Homo-oligomer: A and B are copies of this chain.
Amino acid sequence: MKNTFGNSISVTVFGESHGAAIGAVIDGLAAGIPVSDDRIKSELLRRRPSSAIDTPRREADNFQIISGVFNGKTTGTPITIIIPNENTKSGDYTYGIARPSHADYAGFCKYHGFEDYRGGGHFSGRITAAIVAAGGILLPALENLGIKIGTHILKCADLADDGFDNYEKDIDALRSAEFPTISKICGEKIIEKISETAKEGDSIGGITQTAIFGIPKGVGEPFFDSVEGMLSHALFAIGGIKGVEFGKGFGFADCVGSECNDAFRIKDGNIVTATNNNGGINGGITNGMPILLNCAVKPTPSISKAQKTVDFIKSENTEISVKGRHDPAIIRRICPVIDSICAIVTADLLAGRFGTDIFLKGEK
């Protein structure tokens, strides 16, 4: 469905970086779920560029909900959120010179030159604000069911953050943290690293780690709609993500089964696993442990350093030194986007399994 994702609960995104607005339609949510403007604002705030290491483009993200919410609650019909683009500087972009590793040229191949190229158009990270706004509705609906989702920077260059220790506490802390690491010290080092990279006119990548805590056992629709399949499908929509792994992921390559199989154990009357190398998913279905997933994030393609490239209109080699306003690293701002994508997929899987009214069960 191209710009729509989800079976029971679906999200449709639209908009271009320098068009009138971006936005999202959330369909399939039951009626009666509280919608808090403050929560949407606070999610958008987590994604907004705000510091020296972010793009200087500062959008107010003044969203408007134009359908599907009445008297502060969902009506059960499609919820549409619009976020106007207010701070656009289209003069910064010229057409034809492909930014290396960006969508310019591939977009041209698909859209034949009719694409709205300004600011990256539909490929801009700007679109993810709509995802985050949707997350601002779905994340609290999940929390009401005891499901918490949080993402931190696991690695940037050679700097490695701590892993999750206490899921609930860590996730709560990440929600209000200025910089999304579990170790404050590591966070400061990463900020410094990004600042240095920015000064050199360069950009840097990283790895994020996400926990979905409290998701019930027995959720997921294999063969194809495994939890991993649904999550990865939606996560790869985020520009810059080039890898998704669950639990130990690529680390499994070096392991023998006896080392990395997760032993089941009875604990306080419940069945748990002693380790969680499978990231809470067996056979595509949740086993009751937290879902753990990592995303590989590539360095922002737009850098001011000179790069070799082509002018695809003139069909000739050239150089580019990307102007405009860009992030030297999206690793910080991508965290709330990942949270929101995970909320969309989790909500969809739950509604598909337990019915659309599941979200009313936690309502008092």
Contacts and interface: CB of A to CB of B under 8 A. Distances in A.
Interface string A238-256: 0101111111111111111
A310 interface: yes
Which of A207, A219, A224, A253 has the most CB atoms of chain B within a 10 A radius of its CB? A253
B265 A317 contact: yes
A158 B254 contact: yes
A25 B226 CA distance: 19
Interface in A263-279: 263-266, 269, 271, 273-274, 277-279
Interface string A210-239: 000000011111111110111011111101
B13 A109 contact: no
Contacts of A147: none
A253 B207 contact: yes
Copies held by the complex = 4
A36 to B, nearest CB: 15
Interface stretch (A41-49, A168-176, A355-363): A355-363
A221 B316 CA distance: 27
- Size band of the A side of the interface? 35 or more
Can you list the 6 inter-chain pairs with the closest CB atoms, starting with the nearest?
A103-B283, A243-B245, A109-B218, A355-B355, A31-B114, A233-B233
A177 interface: no
A242 B236 contact: no
A336 interface: no
A358 B111 CA distance: 13
Contact of A121 (B75, B246, B310): B75
A286 interface: yes
B355 A258 contact: no
Nearest to A78: B14
Interface stretch (A52-60, A64-72, A135-143): A64-72
